[in-house]
């Protein structure tokens, strides 16, 4: 960025009054990227043509908002007041580094110049660019009419002040250096059915350089430049565009996130099995669907293994197997919970049995050929939970898969305990 350096010359102190006619001096302030631009023009708005002589044209600007120390002339915009136009009478335009931004047109007296003829067509004095220091502020600019001088050449190549014939016009004297944000659109890129394991993605577009604020239930969740936001929690969402202290929000969007179902528990009470889930149940008997059994409870009609699956919009989860046995009188007798865990196993597993009532219990281990290799339990057990540890090393067995048989009150539960791959 090129800066023009000005040697301070005397500034003509003239009468502050002026008439609204004769000559129009105009400056337009506007923002261009990281700079504020002043386009300065002059013309005759009534009367005959006037030859303009040496002049100081001052504009007062807030130096805390704009960087006047690095203001410069935009040489890409041709000026009608340049040495290249009249080298014998005018110098280059310069800037005075102060709160007064001064565009100076210097007379070359030794050249006996003739001035630049003004008519009703605007002539470009200069385009001045000033870097912005505070992007969230307002740039204020006004003509400093008390100071400076505007002169007409006379026939003897001297100058006469015409300042009282000049009308001063400033376009956009107060220029906000920030753009007010607009209300953004909020889009759901995923399904209307949102599951916790996948969630959904909200998006906005056309941020146009504004800061993007994501909000859930009135609390800011994310602030930056990201136009995408991943959602995995139920709430009311908004997105806002922010610039400086002003923010505009989108319309709210309510998102309901459905949780994955959890494995239900089965309990038994007086011959009825109950699921811990109040809805979404499907009962199974010995691994097969019990058609029509979708309530939260079931009355078993035969001995065997029962289980229940709970499902919702996002998936399904299965309970542990429940061994239910009927006595000769047709009522539940033996266990509320029986099985092995983990299965498949690595190293060891646990055999569990939750007796509904006291009973004789036998727990045996068979190899895959059907030969009994160990007896873990053979005795009378009170009602309640019981557990046996299964570990091949402790039992003196070779590693591998085995068949577990649990006998209680004349009933038997059989499962295969599978060794996990190493």
Count of residues for the chain? 422
CA dist list (Å): 201 to 2, 187, 251, 286? 48, 9, 16, 42
Give the whole-number percent of the chain exceeding pLDDT 70: 84
Q: For the chain, where do the domains classified as CATH 2.60.40.10 start and end? A: 187-258, 260-332
Cα 401 to its chain centre, rounded Å, is: 53
Question: pLDDT band at residue 129, thresholds of 50, 70 and 90?
Answer: very high
**368 Cβ contact list (under 8 Å, min separation 6):** 400, 401, 402, 403
pLDDT for the residue numbered 278: 92
Mean pLDDT of 4-28: 48
Asked whether the predicted pLDDT for residue 327 surpasses 50, the reply is no
Give Cα 184 distance to the centre of its chain.
13
Mean pLDDT calculated for residue range 3-20: 30
Percent of the chain scoring above 90 in pLDDT = 47
Count Cβ atoms within 10 A of the Cβ of residue 309 and give its class: 0-12 exposed, 13-18 middle, 19 or more buried: buried
Cβ atoms within 10 A of the Cβ of 82, count?
20
- pLDDT category, 111, cuts 50, 70, 90? very low
User: Residues 242-298: pLDDT tens digits?
Assistant: 999 899 999 999 999 998 999 999 988 777 889 999 999 999 998 999 998 999 998
What was the pLDDT predicted at 19? 35
Mean pLDDT of 373-394: 92
If one compares 325 and 326, the residue with the highest pLDDT of the two is 325
Parallel, antiparallel, or unpaired: how do β-strands 266-269 and 272-275 relate? antiparallel
Question: Where are the strands (E) in 98-216, listed by range?
Answer: 100-105, 116-118, 123-131, 138-143, 151-153, 159-161, 166-171, 174-176, 187-188, 194-195, 200-203, 211-216
Concatenated DSSP letters of 169-186: EEESSEEESSPPPPPPP-
| pLDDT reported for residue 97 | 57
Other beta carbons less than 10 A from residue 403's beta carbon = 18
Distance CA 66, CA 125 (A): 21
The answer on pLDDT for 15 being more than 50 is no
Q: Tens digit of pLDDT for each residue in 296-315?
A: 998 887 878 899 999 998 99
- Give me the pLDDT at residue 18, please: 31
Q: Which CATH class is domain 334-422?
A: mainly beta
* Residue ranges of the chain that CATH labels 2.60.40.1930: 334-422
Q: Return the CATH fold of 187-258.
A: Immunoglobulin-like (2.60.40)
Q: Residues 388-404: what's their mean pLDDT?
A: 91
Task: Dig out the tokens for 82 from the structure.
Answer: 């340049």
Task: Among 2.70.70.10, 2.60.40.10, 3.30.420.40, 3.20.20.140, name the CATH number for the domain at 260-332.
Answer: 2.60.40.10
Domain 23-176, CATH 3.40.50.920 — does that match?
Answer: no
The structure tokens listed for 373 are: 């290799």
Instruction: Summarize pLDDT for 50-59 with one digit per residue, the tens.
Output: 888 778 888 9
pLDDT computed for residue 193 by the predictor:
84
Locate CATH 2.60.40.680 in the chain: 23-176
Average of per-residue pLDDT values in the chain: 83
Q: Are 165 and 151 in contact (CB under 8 A)?
A: no
Q: Rounded to two decimals, what is the model's pTM?
A: 0.53
Tell me the pLDDT tens digit for each residue of 137-178. Answer: 999 999 988 888 888 876 655 678 888 888 999 999 999 998
Distance, CA of 128 to CA of 337 (rounded, Å): 87
Q: Residue 324: which pLDDT band, with cuts at 50, 70 and 90?
A: confident
pLDDT surpasses 70 at 184:
yes
* Residue 240 banded pLDDT, cuts 50, 70, 90: very high
At residue 297, what are phi and psi to the nearest 5 degrees? -145, 165
- 3-state DSSP assignment of residue 395: helix
């Amino acid at each position: 960025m090129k800066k023009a350096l000005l040697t301070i010359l005397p500034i003509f102190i003239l009468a502050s009054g002026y008439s609204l006619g004769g000559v129009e001096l105009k400056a337009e302030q506007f923002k261009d990227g990281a700079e504020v631009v002043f386009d300065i023009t002059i013309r005759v708005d009534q009367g005959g043509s006037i030859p303009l002589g040496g002049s100081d044209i001052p504009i007062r600007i807030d130096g805390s908002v704009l960087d006047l120390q690095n203001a410069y002339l935009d040489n890409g915009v041709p000026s009608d007041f340049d040495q290249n136009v009249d080298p014998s009478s005018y110098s280059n335009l310069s800037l005075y580094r102060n709160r007064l931004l001064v565009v100076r047109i210097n007379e070359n007296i030794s050249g006996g110049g003739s001035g630049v003829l003004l008519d009703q067509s605007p002539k470009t004095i200069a385009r001045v660019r000033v870097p912005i220091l505070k992007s969230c502020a307002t740039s204020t600019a006004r003509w400093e009419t008390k100071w400076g001088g505007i002169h007409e050449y006379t026939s003897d190549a001297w100058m006469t002040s015409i300042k009282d014939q000049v009308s001063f016009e400033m376009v956009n004297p107060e220029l906000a250096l920030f753009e007010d944000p607009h209300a953004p659109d909020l889009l759901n890129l995923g399904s209307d059915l949102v599951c916790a394991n996948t969630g959904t993605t909200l998006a906005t577009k056309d941020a146009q350089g504004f800061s993007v604020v994501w909000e859930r239930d009135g609390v800011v969740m994310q602030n930056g430049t990201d136009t995408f936001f991943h959602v995995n929690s139920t709430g009311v969402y908004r997105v806002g565009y922010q610039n400086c202290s002003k923010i505009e929000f989108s319309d709210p969007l309510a998102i309901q996130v459905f949780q994955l179902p959890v494995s239900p528990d089965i309990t038994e009470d007086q011959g009825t099995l109950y699921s811990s889930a109040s809805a979404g149940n499907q009962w199974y008997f010995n691994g097969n669907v019990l058609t029509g059994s979708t309530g939260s409870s079931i009355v078993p009609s035969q001995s065997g293994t029962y289980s229940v699956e709970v499902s919702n919009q996002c998936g399904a989860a299965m309970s542990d197997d429940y061994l239910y046995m009927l006595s000769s009188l047709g009522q539940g007798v033996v266990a509320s919970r029986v099985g092995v865990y983990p299965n498949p196993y690595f190293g060891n597993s646990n055999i569990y049995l939750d007796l509904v009532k006291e009973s004789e219990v036998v727990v045996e281990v068979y190899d895959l050929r059907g030969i009994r290799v160990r007896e873990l339990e053979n005795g009378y057990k009170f009602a309640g939970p019981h557990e046996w540890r299964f570990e091949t090393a402790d039992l003196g067995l070779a590693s591998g898969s085995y068949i577990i048989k649990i006998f209680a009150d004349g009933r038997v539960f059989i499962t295969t305990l599978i060794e996990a791959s190493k």
